[in-house]
Each structure stands twice: as structure tokens, then as C-alpha cells.
Structure 1
């Protein structure tokens, strides 16, 4: 049987193959890569190659003469640029400014403006962070940032308006886009970017840096110790772009903590950093002749994020999002994007060599993406017994000591009262016991399953983060549905469905009350049940 990761990898490959057949690096960029990859580089040949593309030459000279590079005198031709900058920075500029034009065709103006705002901020921030931390890889980090989100352009072209609306809604709800993409598409656009860069045979240092960006909750800690300096700079820039462009203020504590492991972490320094990034992003947008959303003052956003930190005292400051009701609501905004899933399914079903619908037609005809739902249900009056709390406490403390995540699922039967009237209390109890055994069989050794309250099962999943917990919950929903339908066909009982709530914490802090994890899962379970059942809702506790 084909595993789900293998299936999703196949879908990614479909996107890459389609994209690689439609979008290729301009001939000049490919030739520059070939020339600079030789053991002996001929600077005159490289210069002549670039000069064959006048538009690219102008872009490079604009960039070199802008404050981005801070040269002491104006550069009038590529010969001077090579002399002052050297071959490597010039090669990187060629790659950064050689995005296939077809990727941008037909993308609506607002979506393109958002893309450039994120992309340019990430590029400039990567270079500034590299300089701030004393790294010598600023140029590589800059180009990696400029190319990191090209997968988003591919998805805009292939999935059309539903994906554009999906991105816009995630921004409005301040929800983590990469996590949402994984939950809906099975992969995120960063993976697509790294695969496409690999296909284009770009330098490994750029590919590895882009691939280091992972789909994490905004407040999750950043593990950067094993990364190269280029990748470290880019991952920090990616999170900083979330803060400055997306105004994800809850991301600041973990970002500050990550920076502090490698350099100074003073508020004044970071406010100055934000100001420099904003200025240089505007300069870069002018150099590249692209439109960005420049209504936000980055220094003000940074100050607002620090003001939020100041609301919590002492050691709790770096966990400001954990008990913030507003952030709790934002984290509950987990996607049920049925229209995007439908478009994704049509892509999967499409023959690999079938013609791609034009972006304009896609934008015109595609349905609007479903609204991101926010789970605001009040928890059922559900009291865990002491034994359940004790069992959960043990697993929570074990995961804290191992510095690993832990998740809890709460499971209930849909239409419980109707079933009670239909089959009677005794038969319902027997049915529930069968469901409990079926859940245990599906979970296997990944976790433990036990009755946490009347008509509610709890599954504890040590070393499972939110995405893994949601995947497990979905397997339970599908598994119970199929299992009960098979029994119903044999006349055993009526078909059953379940509602599952999932709550996860990336790293339980000291003295974390385990009951909070169970309560959060219960609220999500109730939200899933009230949404019609036969589904999953999830939340990350921060």
C-alpha cells in the first residue's frame, strides 16, 4: 500500500514537472551558471554574456548603485561592477533578477504586491541579519530570500483564484500559511520552491537555505544550531518577515530568543534593524520596478510587538502568546478550505501533459475559497478524573524533559442523543466500547487511548506536534467511518461518525497544567461537532 507521504511527494513532483516545463531560467542566467561553474572563470565572458540582456544589465547596475550595496562611488558598467564586487555577488544578482516572466503573468495586482512585499522583506532581512550576526554570507542569504517564495507563484498560476484567496484569508486571520498549506494541500510552497531551484541546478547553498524554512506555529522555538550561516540567516529573516509584513506579533518572543543564541538581542538594535530593512525594501522595489504594500512602518510594528511583550512579567515574557485570549482565537483559526482542496484534487486528477488553464481564465472562473473558521466553542462540562489527569501528567512531564511536543485528542460520537433513542442505552454502551477498541487499534503504539469522561475518549500522543496530531485525528475519522459502514452493511449497527478535537504544545513549560491541554482539545472537539461532525478541529497551545 502506498504511504501518504509518498503520495504527497508524488503531487509535489507533479507541480515541479509542470512548472519546470512552463518556466525556465532565462538563457543568460543559465549560461552565467555554466560559466561560473568552470574551474577557471573568464570574467570577460561572463560580462559579455550578461550584456546580451540589456534589461538585466540595467537592473544589476541599479542594484549595485543603490544604498543596498553602499559603494563609495557610482558604477557605470559591468566591468566596474565586477572589479568592485567580485564574481560571486554578481552571479547571485543575475540569479536573483532572472525570475521567469511567465510566473508573474496573470497574477492579480494585490496578490503580486503581497508576494513582492514578503519576498523583498525576506531578502533584505536575510542580508541585514547576516551582517548583524557577523556572517560573511550576506549576498547568498539575500538571494535565497529573494527566491524562497517562488513556489507561491507556481501555486497561484496552477490553482488560480482559490489559492490567492486562501493566502489572503490566512493573512487576515493571522494564521500560519505554511501550516495551512500542509493541512490542505499536503505540502507547503517552500518545499515547492526548493524542488524547483534544484531542478534549475542553482547552487546548493541557496537550495539548502530555502529548504531549512519549516511550517511551524508563529510562537514555536527556532532550532538553528545545526544550520549553515546562510540558512540560519534566512530562517530568521522568514520569521521576521512574518512579524514586519504580516504583523504576527506573537512570533517576536521566539525570534528574539533565537537571535540571542548567536548575537546581541537588544530592543533598540532590533528597532534600528527594522528601520533599515524598511528603507532598503523600498529601495529594492524601486530597483526592480515592482509594487509593494508600503503602508506599514516596520519600526512601529517592532515597537508594538515589544509593547506586547511588556504586558507579561519576568520569565513569562517569552511565552506571551501562551495565555493571550486573542492569540488563542488566532491559533484556533485552522483551515477547512474545501474549495482549495477541490481545486487541488482536480490538479491531482489532471493528466500530466494536459494543457494548463490560463491564469486569467482561472481567476475568472474559480470559486472563492472557503472562509477560515475560528473555533470559539465553549467546552462541554467535562471533568477529567484523577487517574486520567495523572496519566496525562506523566506523559507531559516526560515530553518536557525530552524537549519534545505532545498532543491530546478528545473524541466523541456524533448524534449521541439520537443514537441513544435509536438503539437504547445498553446497546450504545456496547457500541462505544467497540469504538474504543477500534480507536486503540488505529492508534497502535503511537499513543494511549482511554475513556476520559462519559462518552468521550482521550488519546495521548507523546512526541506528536500539531500537524502529526491532526493527521492522526483524520485517520481516526476516516477509519471509524469506514469501519462502522462495513459493520452497518452486515446489519450490526447504524453507521457512525466521530468528532475529534486536537490540542498540541510544542514544548511543555515547567509546571504546565496538563488539564489545559485536555480542555483545549475538548473545545476543539465541540467545535468540530457543532460544525456538523465527522471532522477535526485543532489548536496549538503557546
Structure 2
């Protein structure tokens, strides 16, 4: 297997050529795995197709969005937020779509419907940092587009919001090694992509672009995100994102970086003065917290205001005296950076060594999933999002089932059923109603699947069933029957007008071995469940070993 990086001690032109080849190989492999695992939810795909038509059918768009109650609730929440300042509350989706307009609606749908598996199991500090910088960059991109008139503001916002997806891809694949590197570089206020390029020969924005290409995003968006020098020097969207990156780093860590590169970039790309840059910062003071509220994200307003105050002070000093000393107060630590980067290189090499050689041949060529194929994503042994902890009761039942199955030479399997957008569903129907939904799902599982142990709710909106002697086809057939009955049963028994769709993922071991770890079965079932969610509602994914 080609290695991701040569050792730093190897030399000169030959080494540089090898690094370029191996970096390209690493990007292709990481992106290939991303295409397998992280697909846009069906509602996002449908909205993209509808809004990309020359004449958008508003009725079809409304019908598409109404199929996702959580998305409907979020759009109504946006329209009724402080950003719009409406006197009367809007409760009708058609009215909300009319107020938003097609481009902002498309922006919100895509922002709200990123693949959930990208965010599973992430370190809390890394996730908060990712959202903080993404929201600042998105708001900054839109405001720069508005002030300069050099690109569409909604397109600038969305590309700014999505630019960092490659970071999530690297965290999911390389775990703690990249997480620690990411936190270290970002805390120093340096350009993450530039440090990645120096250390690894590629950067996270290249992965973002490949992921968005797979989701059929416009080519000019992906080129602007990658931003080679030949593109960013031409102005337009690429230059907006470049300036927004400078602004984001400065506002996230004003005490850690020199403000001059930001001021120079604003002047070189758009002819903006220091006063105009300060006006950009003023606008972001209110818009970024509003975005955090819309996306239901935690936001430390006191820390943000403190950063803005520091930023204003540094820019004022530079405006009064261009020769003023405004260098960063905190210095970088090259030795520590190299140590973290070495860990990333080792993790990447190890990941590539475990990656199946022929895996790219099995990558789907279309975003539209087949209705009942086995879980292709679960076939690979690494880089799958996994829960940070497993339900101990579930692991205990699986351990007993493995022992019984080994004695009788039968199969053992785990099937997980989960409502689509369970957390959002809880918010829509109310926390008191969710247990009733879970009980209906559990009863269906008991009746159709006949598990060997009583099925149980293991987390909000998720029911687990352990089976002995059920082969893969039996479990898949029963799971599809359960999903088909779920919606009508909920509507009949609870009399609520919320489409109750769910997904199912199952892992089956034909003959369990003596040292089989129950956690391996849970992991495999979780992987299939993530893949089923990514493929859209009412989907079953299974794997057998």
C-alpha cells in the first residue's frame, strides 16, 4: 500500500515528488470513503434538484419540505426569529417560503441537512470550535459579498458555512490524532489549510470540494473553496472566502494573530479600508449570535464580545499608527506542531494500510440509493462514526446471546431501529409524546421480529433487538415490514399529524467465534444504521459476517 507521507528526514526533489503523489493518493482515499459514508439526506437532495430548475415549482417544494417535520419546524423558527422581526407569528410553510425566497430557503435546507454521521462522536471542544468558525465565516462571507457586490450573498454564505466539512471528514477518519492537531493549530490563529499543506501535502478544503462535488454542488463553488492561487487572485467568490477566512481567524483569536494580513487582503482584493473592515466586524456582532440561535447551537456571547472588543482595539491602533506594534501576543510552538503533525501522519498511514485496496470500485456512482441493499458502508473496517459509549444492558444481552448461539451453532444478530431526526422529533411532538412513539416501535419489533430477548429503548428514539437464529434475509424482511407499519400505526393510535419515519440497521454473525466482542456487533449495526439514515427515511441496511 502506498504510504501517505514520507518521513521528514528524507530529502530533496525526489522526496517532494513522492509527497505529491502520496498526498494525492491520501486525498483520493479519504474522499472515496467519505462518498461511501456521508450522503446528503433525501430531502436535501430533492430540494437541490427542485431549486436548480429554471422555474422552481413552489407547491412541489412545499410538499417536499413538509415530508420532514423537523425541517419544517426549523424553517418556521427561522422566519419567526429576530432576524426577520415580524410582528405576527408565521405558522404556514407556504407563507414562510414566500418570505424567505428560493435561494435563502435552499441555503437553510442544506445547512440543516448535513449528513448526521459527520458529527457523530466528535470531541466537544472540536465540535464547538468547528461551528464557531463556520458561523463566523458564513456570516462574514455574506457581508463581504453584500459590501463588495462581487458575488451572490446567499451563495457566499453557504460556501462559507460548508468550507470546513473536510475537517469533520479528517476527524472521523483519523480520530484523536487529527483532533489534537486541529485544536492546536486553530488556537494559534494560523491558517489551518496552509499548515496542513506544509505538513501533509494537502489540506482539508480539498476534501470538502470532493465531498461537495459528489453532492452535485456547482463547480464554481468547489473551485472557490479549494482556492488555488490562480483562482483567488481573480476576485469573486474565491476572494470573498479568502478574506472571510482572514476575518474568521482574527475574530476567533484576535490576541494570537497579526491584523495586517487581514487589512492587506481586504485592500488587495476589494480596495477596502480599515474603517470598512471595522464596519464588517460591527455587522458580525449581531448576525453571528443570531445564526447560532437559528441552528440551535450553544454560543458564548460574552467571550465573543470580548474577542470583538480586542479586534476593534487592534484595528484602531493600526489605523492611528500604521507602524504600531500589533504582532500576536502568543507565539506558536513549532516543536509541538511537528509532534501533532507526526501523529496525524502516523494515523493516516495506518488508516491507508487498513483501507481495502479495491474499495473505490464499490463507490456508488449516484446519490440515489437502492431501496434494500446490504450496508456497503459497513463493509470497511475503519473510519466509521461510532458512539462514544454503548448501552451496558445491550452489550450484556449480546454477550449472553453469543454464548447461546455458540452452543447451538446458530447465528446472532442485532437490529437497531431509530426514528429519523429523533432529537428534532422530540422537539416537534414534545418530550411527553416521544415515549409513546418509542413504545409503538418497540411493539412492532416484538411482533414482527420476535427477538430472543425483549427489545428495549437504548437512547431517545432508538429501539434495539437481539436475535438468535435469524438469518440476514429474515431480519431485513421483518425490519422492512416494521418500517412500513410504523407510520399508519402512529397516526391511528396517537392521532398526530407528524410523519413517523424511521431507519433500521442490522449486523448478523452467522457462527460467532469464542472471542467475539459484543461491541463489534454494536459497531457494525450502528454503521448500518448511519448508512440507512443517510440514504433517507424508511431504509434498511444490513451486513453479515
TM category, shorter: 0.5 to 0.7
The answer (yes or no) to whether the contact 1:174–1:330 under 8 Å persists in 2 is no
User: Is 2:297 the counterpart of 1:290?
Assistant: yes
User: Is 2:104 the counterpart of 1:104?
Assistant: no
Report how far residue 358 of structure 1 moved.
Answer: 5.2
d(CA) in 2 for partners of 1:252, 1:72:
41
| CA deviation map 1:470-503 (0-9, x unaligned) | xxxxxxxxxxxxxxxxxxxxxxxxxxxxxxxxxx
The answer (yes or no) to whether the contact 2:134–2:161 under 8 Å persists in 1 is yes
Structure 1 residues 358 and 202, CA, compared in 2 at 3 Å: closer, same or farther?
closer
Report how far residue 78 of structure 1 moved.
Answer: 2.9
Report how far residue 3 of structure 1 moved.
Answer: 4.9
The answer (yes or no) to whether the contact 1:67–1:280 under 8 Å persists in 2 is no
User: Is 2:353 the counterpart of 1:346?
Assistant: no
The answer (yes or no) to whether the contact 2:135–2:292 under 8 Å persists in 1 is yes
Partner residue in 1 for 2:382: 356
Partner residue in 2 for 1:502: none
Deviates more, 1:21-30 or 1:36-45: 36-45
Residue 58 (structure 1) aligned to one of 69, 73, 95: 73
Report how far residue 275 of structure 1 moved.
Answer: 3.5
Instruction: Please give the residue correspondences for 1:438-449 in structure 2 after superposition, counting only pairs within 5 Å.
Output: none
d(CA) in 1 for partners of 2:92, 2:52:
23
Residue 25 (structure 2) aligned to one of 2, 6, 10: 10
SS at match of 1:296: helix
User: Is 2:310 the counterpart of 1:306?
Assistant: no
By relative contact order (CA 8 Å, sep 6+), the higher-ranking structure is: 2
Report how far residue 104 of structure 1 moved.
Answer: 0.7
Report the count of equivalent residues. Answer: 349
The answer (yes or no) to whether the contact 1:175–1:331 under 8 Å persists in 2 is no
Give the TM-score normalised by structure 2. 0.58
Report how far residue 335 of structure 1 moved.
Answer: 2.7
Report how far residue 276 of structure 1 moved.
Answer: 2.7
Structure 1 residues 89 and 39, CA, compared in 2 at 3 Å: closer, same or farther?
same
d(CA) in 2 for partners of 1:200, 1:362:
28
Residue 138 (structure 1) aligned to one of 135, 141, 153: 153
User: Is 2:245 the counterpart of 1:238?
Assistant: yes
Instruction: Please give the residue correspondences for 1:178-327 in structure 2 after superposition, counting only pairs within 5 Å.
Output: 178-212=193-227, 224-228=232-236, 230-247=237-254, 250-261=257-268, 262-267=270-275, 269-294=276-301, 295-297=303-305, 298-306=307-315, 309=318, 313-314=321-322, 316=323
SS at match of 2:259: helix
Give the TM-score normalised by structure 1. 0.58
Unpaired segments ≥5 residues, structure 2 = 1-13, 360-379, 391-545
Report how far residue 187 of structure 1 moved.
Answer: 1.2
d(CA) in 2 for partners of 1:249, 1:128:
24
User: Is 2:157 the counterpart of 1:148?
Assistant: no
SS at match of 2:304: coil
Partner residue in 1 for 2:442: none
d(CA) in 2 for partners of 1:213, 1:68:
35
d(CA) in 2 for partners of 1:247, 1:150:
24
d(CA) in 1 for partners of 2:220, 2:33:
25
Unpaired segments ≥5 residues, structure 1 = 215-221, 365-542
Structure 1 residues 152 and 357, CA, compared in 2 at 3 Å: closer, same or farther?
closer
Report how far residue 236 of structure 1 moved.
Answer: 1.2
| CA deviation map 1:432-475 (0-9, x unaligned) | xxxxxxxxxxxxxxxxxxxxxxxxxxxxxxxxxxxxxxxxxxxx
Report how far residue 108 of structure 1 moved.
Answer: 1.7
| CA deviation map 1:33-73 (0-9, x unaligned) | 22223344322111111111111122223223334456686
Report how far residue 223 of structure 1 moved.
Answer: 8.8
The answer (yes or no) to whether the contact 2:44–2:113 under 8 Å persists in 1 is yes
The answer (yes or no) to whether the contact 2:121–2:386 under 8 Å persists in 1 is yes
Partner residue in 2 for 1:519: none
d(CA) in 1 for partners of 2:196, 2:355:
23
Partner residue in 1 for 2:131: 116
Report how far residue 26 of structure 1 moved.
Answer: 0.4
Structure 1 residues 363 and 343, CA, compared in 2 at 3 Å: closer, same or farther?
farther
d(CA) in 1 for partners of 2:73, 2:221:
24
